Structure 1
Amino acid sequence: MVPVRRSLWHEPRPRDAAPVGRDDVLLGGAYAVVALLEGALRPDLTWRIGVTALALLLVPALVWRRPRPLVAVLLAWGVAGLLAGLQLSTDVGDLGLDAMTAVLVPLYALARWGSGREIAVGTTFVAGVATLGMLATSATWTERIGGIGLLGLVVAIGAVFRYRADLGRRQQVEVRNEERMALARELHDTVAHHVSAIAVQAQAGGVIAASQPERAAAILAAIEVEASRTLAEMRSMVRALREEDAVDYAPQAGVADLPALARPDGTPRVVVSLDGALTRLPRPVDGALFRLAQESLTNAVRHARGATRIGIEVRREGDVVRLRVVDDGRTSGSDAARHGFGLRGMGERAQLLGGSCTAGPGAGGGWVVEAVLPVEGPA
């Protein structure tokens, strides 16, 4: 789907426009103190009391600048426009306090937290007030250009911080999406492996239940163990996602845990072979090897018809580790397609670590999955 570009008019308000906080109240209070002191200490100021009272109207504008940026701009710059109009119409001395340069703060807030419509309305209003102020003070062209540049700079700074905040939110979304994909792979690898083992044991139990009831009881016990493991691993993942405090995580399964997948007396028989220096592998590579082997074993148990043996071999070859999972079953092209997201997830897992993963029929029959991962992980 092609994304639709929004115009500035339809730009929504950023989500980080927080309500009034303690800092906002402190800013408003500090401005009020400065304005009162300046009004009291400037004997040359015309209409001192009235001008100081009008200047204090900026206090609520500063306090509400984030949740109500347009209202803050209209109030602050409305006061500035009123003073400029009085000065232009009465031809008296300077009617403004230096403290009223604080009108730039609501303008920044408008560009930072306002919606597109609020920015359009507010900047138009500010432009009109600024024009009136330049006429009231008989500013030179140099002063006018400097004033316009200052207003543009304030708006630009607000827009830059707005863009950076939006970029940060987008990066957080991308990180969360990557975490969801990783979690989906982990859930698929874990649950599919255990459920496949449960299904195989249940099928075997149904066959021998009538003739060998004692073996059927052992198979039911094995099914119970596999189901308990599945629930335990799923609960561990969900708990890690839901708890905000520190969690005591179990060590990630790795190459050292591969012998636990062996089933020398099962049907099919699962044999695990480890060769070479396979200790102290980087945790991502170590965990990926286990998950790739586990997923390959799950696919073999599911789809390799008539398989009697599944071999899992991990071998260190220089700077890479090679994983081979081979079965002697009959696997057609349609069976391979039924691996679904398993093969795709295995390939993605290997590529993230700078390696590769291939799967296909073996030269002597059966199905072969081979993964090659660099020992040091991706460059």
Structure 2
Amino acid sequence: MFGKIRAWSQRRRMLVDVLWVTPLIALCAALATTYTQSPANAPVDLVGYLLLSTALLVPLFWRNSHPRSVFALVSLTSFGQWLAGVDAFPANSAVLVAMYAMASRCRFRWALAAGLVSELGIFLALSHWDTVSLGMFLSCSFFVIMIWLTGIYANTRQRYLEGLEERAERAERERDQQARMAAAAERARIARELHDVVAHNVSVIIVQADGASFAIDSDPDQARQAVHAISKTGREALAEMRRLVGVLRDDPAGTAPDAADYTPQPGLAQLEDLVRGSGLPVDLRVTGTPHELSEGEQLAVYRLVQEALTNTLKHGGPGARATVEMEYGMRELVVRVTDDGRGAAAPLSEGGHGLLGMRERVSMYGGAVQAAPRPGGGFEVLARLPVAA
């Protein structure tokens, strides 16, 4: 129940602020006639009372969104009231409300400044009274300090709850990531098994087919047996492939596969979209005459750039920029991804296989990858991929 109330208050923050200030407005309105007609107070008419009360109370509607501005405005208004010789009245409690907002939402140095200004305001307000005493000042100061400490506690608790929520979200992301990594490892194992099954059965089929081709004239029965063996082996291989591919297509929960699993793999045509959606400022530069690359080669280049930009985003630090350069030469395609972040100084994360994956993808097509810190700072990933003449 409290969670629902908190969520509702977060969605309608302005309305909640108005509701909190409404009782104070009602109290000031109810005491307007009593205050202005009392001979003990400094001379002020009803209109001046209402105008001054409005100037003090209306800014409180924005105390949570702009706590420092509201506190400064309310404090300066109260100070001007003191300079004009007008005694304190109920609307001056807006200073304490604004001080609480400062203590509960701003850093400690701002909260401390708000508390000291409020204490000064108490002293100035009591200085108009002839009967003021040290005990009265201490009593008022105790009241102010209690409000200030309550705001500090609310601020600390809010930061603590935000920390808990952040840790919970991070733990959830790490759990999902571990689950995806486990699923990917299992799928890789199944893919290797599929490769072994296909390679073995195709080898058997080739051997039987060669035997049948030699024996078809001299020994028809043996050729017939070889053809039957080819048929049997082909059916078994096809059934095994269907079983393994079905496992690869289905997700771990057994539900229908995602539509994204059947979309074409990205290539160089999607490289600009990757750069724009990388989450950091990236310059893409392409020089030379583009070559015709196979889908596999395009995918390897795409994944290399994606992994390099991901490493920059993770380890480059705030404000890091990256540059993606693709240079088409006569015999090779050079892909260079550089950044000016602190990736070279960042600690190595455990279990990372990004660079290894880059090298494996590019080496499939006879290329090579180098990754190292830059002399002037930052990190560089350089890949050379040979292209057909």
Q: CA 1:17/1:194 → structure 2, altered by over 3 Å: closer, same or farther?
A: closer
1:297-336 to 2 correspondence within 5 Å?
none
> Which stretch has the larger CA shift, 117-126 or 76-85?
117-126
Residue among 80, 89, 103 paired with 1:97? 89
Residue 26 (structure 1) aligned with residue 23 (structure 2)? no
One-letter code aligned to 1:169: E
SS of 1:189 mapped into structure 2: helix
Could you say which residue in structure 1 is the equivalent of 2:98? 106
**8 A contact 1:19–1:67 mirrored in 2:** no
Deviation at 1:225? 1.1
Distance change >3 Å, CA 182–CA 64, structure 1 → 2: same
Runs of 4+ in 1 over 6 A off after TM superposition: 16-19, 234-237
For 1:214, the equivalent position in structure 2 comes to 235
Quickly say closer, same or farther: Cα 1:167–1:27, change in 2 above 3 A: closer
Decide which structure has greater helix share: 2
Structure 2 residue corresponding to 1:80, chosen from 65, 78, 81:
78
1:47 matched to 2:44: yes
1:182 aligns with 2:175: yes
Q: How does 1:1-40 map to 2 (within 5 A)?
A: 21-40=14-33
Could you say if the C-alpha distance between residues 230 and 161 of structure 1 is closer, same or farther in structure 2, counting changes exceeding 3 Å? same
Change (3 A) 1:234 1:151: farther
Match of 2:344 in 1: none
Secondary structure of 2:235 counterpart: helix
Superposition deviation, residue 205 in structure 1? 0.9
When normalised by structure 2's length, the TM-score is 0.49
Q: Is the contact made by 2:102 and 2:110 (CA closer than 8 Å) also made in structure 1?
A: yes
Q: Is 2:87–2:128's contact at 8 Å kept on the other side of the alignment? A: no
Equivalent position amino acid for 1:67 in 2: S
Correspondence for 1:196 among 189, 198, 213: 189
Alpha carbons 2:99, 2:111 under 8 Å: kept: no
Shift of 1:183: 2.3
Are residues 96 and 129 of structure 1, via their aligned partners in 2, closer, same or farther at CA, if it must alter by over 3 Å?
Answer: closer
Matched residue, 1:374: none
How far, CA to CA, are the matches of 2:10 and 2:78 in structure 1?
A: 25
5+ residue gaps, structure 1, are: 1-15, 88-93, 238-339, 342-379
CA drift at 1:193: 2.2
Preserved CA contact (<8 Å) 1:108 1:157: yes
When residues 226 and 173 of structure 1 are mapped into structure 2, their CA distance, relative to the original with a 3 A threshold, is: same
Deviates more, 1:95-104 or 1:114-123: 114-123
Matched-pair contact (CA < 8 Å) for 1:62–1:72: yes
Deviation at 1:235, TM superposition (A): 7.6
Q: For the Cα contact (< 8 Å) 2:64–2:101, is it kept in 1? A: yes
What is the CA distance between 1:213 and its match in structure 2? 2.6
SS of the equivalent of 2:114 reads helix
SS, match of residue 56 in structure 1: helix
Partner amino acid, structure 1, of 2:96? L
Determine which of 54, 67, 70 is the counterpart of 1:69.
67
1:161 CA drift (Å): 0.8
Pairing 1:122–2:114 present: yes
TM superposition shift of 1:35? 1.8
Question: Residue 173 of structure 1: CA displacement?
Answer: 1.9
Partners of 1:163 and 1:123 in 2: how far apart?
A: 16
| Deviation string, structure 1 residues 328-365 (Cα, Å, up to 9, x no partner) | xxxxxxxxxxxx69xxxxxxxxxxxxxxxxxxxxxxxx
Distance 1:39 1:33 in 2: 10
Letter in 2 for 1:79: T
Structure 2: gaps of 5 or more residues: 1-8, 206-232, 259-350, 353-389
Structure 1 position 117, deviation (Å): 5.4
Superimposed CA distance per residue, residues 140-199 of structure 1 (whole angstroms, 9 cap, x where no aligned partner): 111111122221111110010111111111112222233233323322333322331232
Does residue 161 of the first structure (1) align with residue 154 of the second (2)? yes
Specify the structure having the higher radius of gyration (Cα): 2
Note the C-alpha offset of 1:40. 2.0
Change (3 A) 1:30 1:132: same
Q: 1:129 to 1:100 in 2, by over 3 A?
A: closer
SS in 2 for 1:95: coil
Q: Deviation at 1:29?
A: 4.4
AA in 1 matched with 2:54: L
Q: Which amino acid is 2:27 matched to?
A: V
Q: Does 1:148 align with 2:141?
A: yes
Aligned to 1:268: none
Could you say what secondary structure the match of 1:57 adopts? Answer: helix
Overall identity of the aligned pairs, in %: 14
Shift in Å at residue 24 of structure 1? 1.9
TM-score between both structures, scaled by the size of structure 1: 0.51
CA distance in 1, matches of 2:236, 2:146: 81
Relative contact order (alpha carbons < 8 A, sep ≥ 6): 1 or 2 greater? 1
Aligned equivalents of 1:146, 1:86: Cα separation in 2: 26
